[in-house]
Amino acid sequence: MANVLVVAESAEGKLRKTTHSAVTFARQAAQALGGAFSILVIGHNVAGAAEEARALGADKVLVADDASLKDYLAERYAPTVAEVGKGYAVVVGTASAYGKDLLARVAGRLGSGYAADISELLVEGGTLKYKRPMFAGNAFGIMSVSTPVQVVSVRQSAFAAAEPSGGSSDVAPVAVVAPGAAASRIEMVSFDQVKSERPELTEAKVVVAGGRALKERFNEILDPLADTLTAALGASRAACDAGYAPSDLQVGQTGKVVAPPLYFAIGISGAIQHLAGMKNSKVIVAVNKDGDAPIFQVADYGLVADLFQVVPELVKQLKAAKAG
């Protein structure tokens, strides 16, 4: 029986939305294979996350809940994920920081081929092929995995979040597998969280992203625009490197990949690495002083102007449009 296992991601006892993208993949893959899918919820005190997972239409929700899994460490998670995953044709998660860290290690443990950060599942005669962006999104590779268990991570922006199915899956506990020597040589010291009231960058309907041109006025200029549009803030690598924006906001080939309905690139020149993270957005607006900036090649609406004058004016007009 060819079944699919979703490795859920949770934080503070709640399911992270990344999980829902992996579930969308799992529904497609299970259907193609004529099997079913399960969801593995792993961590400590994850009963709440498991309860949420039950609504997603899985055949089973498996729960590995143990005090030794309190802090996420791949060294402690991978043995259990791999042990459970052995019984499945496909083990899938989302290519978030957690998924990228964990799934590749799981692939190492299983000796499984790994299809990383895929953007589409292609089914050919009952076999699975994966389409994945390479070369900063300038090419797609069509590939397949030849090992008995295939490990896959999906690009969150390419797989819509699964909606609840209406059913309620059965829950079964699974045993935690003792980790190897690696786990005795690593510990988590701290997690410095960046708290934000704004929507998650990878889930927002509107993203307002800024570049180095904003300098120390990054937040002063962009916050009002993001507030008006209920947008998430994003940034170019240059803005993050220079310390104008926290690195968590970086959009690009090696940062977050986003594809919102509306994306504002403010003072971003449009390096290849940045375009890789946002060019699938539905509508792209660019504001830049330099009319030859590469960002204008992907922008639907370009405005060649000084952002320090234009953005406050834009905020004013958007507010007026809303009120009107």
Partner 1 sequence: MKILVPLKRVADPDNANKVKIPASGATIETTGLEWKPNPFDEYALEAALRLTEDGKAPKVRAGEVVVVTFGPKETETTLRAALATGADRAIRVDAADDKLDGHLVARALKALVEREKPDLVLMGKQAVDGDSNQVGQILAEQLDYPMATFAATMKEEAGGLLVGREVDGGVITLRVKFPAVVTVDLRIVAPTSVYSMKTAPAFKYNDGVRFAALPAIMAAKKKPLAEVKLADLAADQGLRVTYHGFQAPPARKAGIKVKDVTDLVNRLKNEAKAL
Q: Which of residues 223-282 bind partner 1 (CB under 8 A)?
A: 237, 240-241, 247-248, 253-254, 261-262, 271-273, 275, 279, 282
| Of 124 and 163, CB closest to partner 1 | 124
Minimum distance from CB of 172 to partner 1 (Å)?
Answer: 26
143 sits near partner 1 (criterion: CB under 8 A) = yes
The helix-helix angle for 218-229 and 307-323 (nearest 10°) equals 20
Binding residue for partner 1, selected from 67, 125, 146, 323, defined by CB under 8 A: 146
Spatial distance between the Cα atoms of 4 and 179, rounded to a whole number of angstroms: 24
Q: For residue 36, with 0-12 CB atoms within 10 Å meaning exposed, 13-18 middle and 19 or more buried, which class applies?
A: middle
What torsion do the CA atoms of 304, 308, 314, 320 make, to the nearest 10 degrees?
A: -150
Of 42-50, 52-60, 69-77, 162-170, the segment contacting partner 1 by CB under 8 A is 69-77
Q: For residue 166, with 0-12 CB atoms within 10 Å meaning exposed, 13-18 middle and 19 or more buried, which class applies?
A: exposed
| Of 166 and 321, CB closest to partner 1 | 321
Minimum distance from CB of 63 to partner 1 (Å)?
Answer: 23
Strand-pair category, 127-134 with 120-124: antiparallel
164 sits near partner 1 (criterion: CB under 8 A) = no
Q: Taking CB under 8 A as the criterion, which residues in 290-319 touch partner 1?
A: 291, 296-305, 310, 313-314, 317-318
Single-letter residue type at 131: K
292: alpha, beta or left? (left if phi > 0; alpha if psi -120 to 50): alpha
| Of 57 and 210, CB closest to partner 1 | 210
Q: How many residues bind partner 1 (CB under 8 A)?
A: 91
Q: What strand order describes the sheet that includes 60-65?
A: 114-118, 150-154, 90-94, 4-7, 37-43, 60-65, 170-173
Q: Taking CB under 8 A as the criterion, which residues in 168-207 touch partner 1?
A: 180-183, 185-194
Minimum distance from CB of 67 to partner 1 (Å)?
Answer: 19
117 sits near partner 1 (criterion: CB under 8 A) = yes
Longest distance between any two alpha carbons in the chain, whole Å: 64
Q: Taking CB under 8 A as the criterion, which residues in 5-34 touch partner 1?
A: 11
| Of 31 and 254, CB closest to partner 1 | 254
* Cβ count within 10 A of residue 254: 11
